[in-house]
Amino acid sequence: MNKTLLTLAMALAASGTALAAELPDNIKAAGKVVVANTPNYPPMEYRDPATNELMGLDIDLGTALAKQLGIEVEWSDIGFEQMISSLTTGRVDLIESGMSDLPKRRDALDFLDYMKSGAQFYSTTAHKDEFKQPTDLCGKTIGMSRRTSFPDETAKWSAANCEAKGLPAIKVVGTEGSADARTQLKQGRVDAAVQGSETLPYLMSVDKGAFFTIGEPYTAVYQGIGFDKTKPELRDAYIDGLKALMENGEYKKIFTKWGLEGAMLDGIYINGEARK
């Protein structure tokens, strides 16, 4: 190893040691964090059908953050609706699972935001001539995961863009998850569906020619890593870890790998606010 590379390696090692010192004592003693994750939301988190290996942007980012802090990750497969209670009761240390940073969740959580997202309408290509713009969905049946913020957001969008203009309301159908919504869409049980805008390019690349998006995302939110609001030490260590990944290029490398460079943030955001 030449002198320049050796100096860089020593600097990175020293940085990791310094960040590890910021961790809460129980995390340092365990040498790991237990992270809530539901692997059913590609490309954020999913299992490789061939190997059952856990993979996705959240997995890569979570692993890189833990490495930066000198600890391991233990991924805990927990239903999305159970994640916040699992965190506040101490079953897990943090949440990293494509969770939107919403004001109503901030009563219990602090979010370290790491990407931009938005709710997006889409349908099967059989409807491409029928649904040319979002308002063509007024009066139609739209499927979306009931565990997410999508049902409320879609009802609000419908009130403003359909009912307020004398058009029939969208019929919101809560599903058991995004995969269930896609199944119902393919079976013709719903006319269209909603997913996070970050997931649709991957979905359309895997199932070529099956789907198309309708308009632009109709919400703008951040996705964040969730921490127990009463335990800020772990959050603060992760803030410094993410800052280090942004500075050394690893953050951009991960987003580029998953084709989501457009979802990257330009700095550190906590609970939707830029940290100075």
* CATH code: domain of residue 261: 3.40.190.10
The model scores a pTM over 0.85: no
The b-or-e profile of 232-245 (16+ CB within 10 A means b, else e) is: eebbbbbbbbbbbb
Cβ 99 vs Cβ 83: under 8 Å: yes
Q: Residues 186, 239: one domain?
A: no
What's the average model confidence in pLDDT over 195-210?
Answer: 91
What's the pLDDT at 177? 87
CA distance 12 to 85: 36
Q: Residues 113, 231: one domain?
A: yes
Q: Residues 7, 105: one domain?
A: yes
What's the pLDDT at 164? 98
Q: Residues 129, 113: one domain?
A: no
CA distance 1 to 7: 10
DSSP for residue 48 = -
Cβ 64 vs Cβ 249: under 8 Å: no
The total of structural domains in the chain comes to 2
Residue 41 structural domain: 3-117+222-274
The residue that leads in pLDDT, 71 or 7, is 71
Q: Residues 107, 22: one domain?
A: yes
Q: Residues 181, 58: one domain?
A: no
Q: Residue 19 — very low, low, confident or very high, per pLDDT cuts 50/70/90?
A: low
For all residues of the chain together, what is the average pLDDT? 92
Q: How far apart are the first and last CA of the chain?
A: 37
Q: Which of 162, 181, 214 is the last residue of a domain?
A: 214
What's the pLDDT at 40? 87
Q: Residues 108, 205: one domain?
A: no
Residue 154 has pLDDT above 50, yes or no: yes
The b-or-e profile of 104-136 (16+ CB within 10 A means b, else e) is: ebbeebbbbbbbbbbbbbbbbeebeeebeebeb
What's the average model confidence in pLDDT over 63-68?
Answer: 98
Residue percentage of the chain with pLDDT more than 70: 92
Q: Residues 141, 256: one domain?
A: no
Q: Residues 76, 167: one domain?
A: no
Q: Residues 46, 178: one domain?
A: no
Q: Residues 184, 247: one domain?
A: no
Query: What would the pLDDT profile of 81-121 be if each residue is shown by its tens digit?
Result: 899 999 999 999 999 999 999 999 999 999 999 999 999 99
Residue 15 has pLDDT above 60, yes or no: no
Q: Residues 174, 226: one domain?
A: no
